[in-house]
Amino acid sequence: MLDVPKVEKDDENMDKVSVKVDGKIIADGLLGKKAGVTYVPLQAVADTLGASVEWDSKTKTA
pTM over 0.85: no
Within a domain: 58: no
Within a domain: 34: yes
Query: SS3 for 41?
Result: coil
1 pLDDT above the threshold of 70: no
Within a domain: 61: no
Within a domain: 45: yes
Domain span at residue 11 reads 2-49
CA distance 13 to 52: 28
* Overall number of domains in the chain: 1
Structure confidence by residue, pLDDT tens digits, 2-61:
555 554 555 556 667 788 888 888 887 777 777 777 777 888 888 888 999 888 889 888
Within a domain: 19: yes
Within a domain: 6: yes
59's CB contacts (< 8 A; 6+ apart) are none
